[in-house]
Amino acid sequence: MIDSLIISLQLALTTTVLLLLIGLPLAYILAFKSFKGRTVLEIIVALPLVLPPTVLGYYVLLMIAPDSMLGSAWNMLFDSSLAFSFSGMVFASVLYSLPFAVQPMQQAFRAIPKNWLELIKAQSLNIKHRLLKVILPASKGGILVAAALSFAHTIGEFGVVLMVGGSIPGETKVASIALFEMVEMQQQSEAWMLALILLALSFVMLSVVYSINRSALNMGAAK
């Protein structure tokens, strides 16, 4: 049980960090730039919200299979298989939780007051100052919500990680899969304990999200 919890936490943490790194520029582009194909990009980002996890898992499996371009490149670089590995699960989780990271940040960027955006132009801020002095501090709430949701959503994954990672004990067996197997094997007390831990973890993460949202609302009201 502890092993699967640790793997879940490692997976959630790695996915969250990667999602912030990938999601930030993506959200910035979607919020501020107009270009051909923007709607298509927005749909692709939002797809995991409606796609059955098994469908996403199936496509990810095809993408990272040893004979695929990505799978063979990974094999050449790291001498290991991407399918049924922790790295493969990270790849799938990043795709699966992408909208949970991008959308809150995109909304936060769009909510930045117009005169702060005009200030960026009037003061000729370069991209570094633009981000560090204005955009990121102004969207701090949205970025924290994105991190919390990405983390919580990854902890709660089941279908995708089962398909992509298999359920290799100590390697790719995450807490949600361990719980499923405990129930199957009638290990009621262990299942009860693990479910309670996952419930508490989700509750804490959502509390963080709601308190950030509330303080953002209060700030908005105070403006």
| Site residues, other proteins (CB under 8 A) | 115-116, 118-119, 121-126, 129, 133-134, 137-138
Beta carbon nearer to other proteins, 34 or 186: 34
What six digits make up the tokens of 165?
């990672």
Contact 191, 182 (CB under 8 A): yes
Coil, helix or strand at residue 65? coil
Task: Tell me how far apart the alpha carbons of residues 8 and 151 are, in angstroms, rounded to a whole number.
Answer: 10
**Minimum distance between the CB of residue 90 and other proteins, rounded to whole angstroms?**
33
Which of residues 94 and 120 has its CB atom nearest to other proteins in the complex? 120
Beta carbon of residue 212, minimum distance to other proteins (angstroms, whole number) = 16
CB of 113 to other proteins, least distance (A): 8
Q: Which of 102, 80, 77 is nearest to 18 (CA)?
A: 102
Nearer to other proteins, 78 or 116 (CB): 116
Q: How buried is 30 (Cβ within 10 angstroms: 0-12 exposed, 13-18 middle, 19+ buried)? A: buried
Q: Please, what sign has the CA dihedral across residues 96, 101, 104, 110? A: negative
Closer to other proteins by Cβ: residue 110 or 129: 129
CB of 130 to other proteins, least distance (A): 9
